[in-house]
Amino acid sequence: MYRDIAKLVLYRDLPKDCILFRLSNIFEEFDKGQFDKADLTTRIYVEIKRLLDLSTSYGFDCNLWHNYLTYILITNENSFSLTCEKVGANDGTVNYFAKNDFRIFKNLFNYDFKPIEDALNIDCFSVISNYKAIPKTERMYNHNVSEKVQALSLKIEQALGEEDIFTLVTDFYKNYGVGMFGLNKAFRLKEHSQNVKFVAINNMDKVLLKDLVGYEIQKKKLIDNTKAFVEGRAANNVLLFGDSGTGKSTSVKAIINEFYDQGLRMIEIYKHQFKDLSTVISMIKNRNYRFIIYMDDLSFEEFETEYKFLKAVIEGGVETKPDNVLIYATSNRRHLIKETWSDRNDIQVDNGMHKSDTMQEKLSLVNRFGVTIYYSKPSQKEYFTIVKELRKHYPMITMSDEELCNEANKWELSHGGISGRTAQQFINYLAGIAPDSGCN
């Protein structure tokens, strides 16, 4: 194992403490006969535990060793894999080194663990090669990654050699991409050693726009803009504003789900992270994806100045915003930044500026969103329609439409008023207390 791994060229830049490298060191000591049996057994079990933890996180099954090796292949961002992501496989000298690495991975797929198992009287490698995972809900692991890893792993198992693997892996890069961006829909930011790190959001709602009752004009505007964006045509930044609970955030999540297969990804960013916007954009501008930078519940108080970072990035900074990045924001405020009546009085203040200039600076942020979509609070009739449509997903709710609407009316009077969110909460309540729902 360690002799093969030492010959890797393109895929050698793995973390030094990764499972593969640490197992390689263990097997090198075993082959040289310079080991303490108990110590080596303990170290193997440590790596098996790490492999089981990784497999649980991604829902791997059957042959965990093969799944792990495949996971390395489709997440390793190197010059070869990133080029294939953009243009697919092409003739070039680099293919010689790629096929060399794929031959090594095929050897690792077929590695015989029996000698070390017999010598140490263990069977853990045999167990993980024929593993039956405990069924888990999809929210407990990244189902999207799990499916793709296991499907490609099975094909590599059946591949005859490096030529077959070359085709399989480069086709995967072209179709899905490489690394976390190729496998995940959405991300948030995390500060890491004074740098920015992307963290995948594994349990994103599977909501689609058809699940949002009503708001057909709003949904069409959002779809048209996003469709133009993913197809490489001109598109605008979008501000979704209006009453609370009307489906603004749901619409953005749904649009990501619907255009994910066309290369759309989302990065959620919070107000205190706006200082990192330029860094984030520099990290994604050359990738073969379309990115929506998503800002939920965006608003600023008078004393907050983070909006200046946002204004500079959207339009007006020295560096032009790349074509593969748009900003989608939701807000309960039309103008995003809290105004006061004194802002509207065009009087000169001590520093020589007019207060109306301050207001215009605040309003100019909204003007940088080329598309603004208003989500109004539904009428009572529309509220009842939403309730009746949502009820269709819960067959255990058997009351008549009249009774349902009467109860929905009572519910909204004591639960925040009329909105789509209130309707969903009401239906959740009814489903929870229904006789066959399993609740008391």
The pLDDT, as a whole number, for residue 439 is: 41
Neighbouring residues of 250: CB distance < 8 A, sequence distance ≥ 6: 205, 207, 211, 212, 420
CATH 3.40.50.300 at 200-375, yes or no: yes
Rounded mean pLDDT of 186-202? 82
What pTM was computed for the model? Answer: 0.77
Q: What is the pLDDT of residues 324-365, one digit of tens each?
A: 999 998 988 665 555 544 444 544 555 544 455 555 555 566
Neighbouring residues of 262: CB distance < 8 A, sequence distance ≥ 6: 230, 231, 290
Outline where 275-400 has alpha helix (H): 277-284, 307-314, 341-344, 355-367, 380-391
Calculate the alpha carbon distances from 69 to 65, 239, 393 in Å: 6, 43, 41
Q: Inform me whether the pLDDT recorded for 306 exceeds 80.
A: no
- Given a contact cutoff of 8 angstroms between Cβ atoms, the answer to whether 248 and 215 are in contact is no
Closest among 302, 241, 298, 242 to 272, alpha carbons compared: 298
Outline where 121-243 has alpha helix (H): 124-128, 143-158, 162-176, 180-183, 216-230
| Domain range annotation of the chain | 2-183, 200-375, 380-437
Both tokens assigned to 4: 């093969």
Residue 59's pLDDT band (boundaries 50, 70, 90)?
Answer: confident
Q: Measured between alpha carbons, how far is 111 from 381 in angstroms, rounded to an integer?
A: 66
Q: What is the pLDDT of residues 377-406, one digit of tens each?
A: 888 999 999 999 999 888 888 889 999 999
Residue 271's pLDDT band (boundaries 50, 70, 90)?
Answer: confident
**3-state SS class at 240:** strand
Q: What is the pLDDT of residues 99-154, one digit of tens each?
A: 999 999 999 999 999 999 999 999 999 999 998 887 766 555 567 778 889 999 99
Q: What is the pLDDT of residues 65-79, one digit of tens each?
A: 999 999 999 999 999
Q: Measured between alpha carbons, how far is 440 from 142 in angstroms, rounded to an integer?
A: 32
Angle between helices 64-75 and 19-32 in degrees, nearest 10: 120
- Given a contact cutoff of 8 angstroms between Cβ atoms, the answer to whether 137 and 178 are in contact is no
Q: Inform me whether the pLDDT recorded for 301 exceeds 80.
A: no
Residue 39's pLDDT band (boundaries 50, 70, 90)?
Answer: very high
Rounded mean pLDDT of 154-179? 92
Residue 169's pLDDT band (boundaries 50, 70, 90)?
Answer: very high
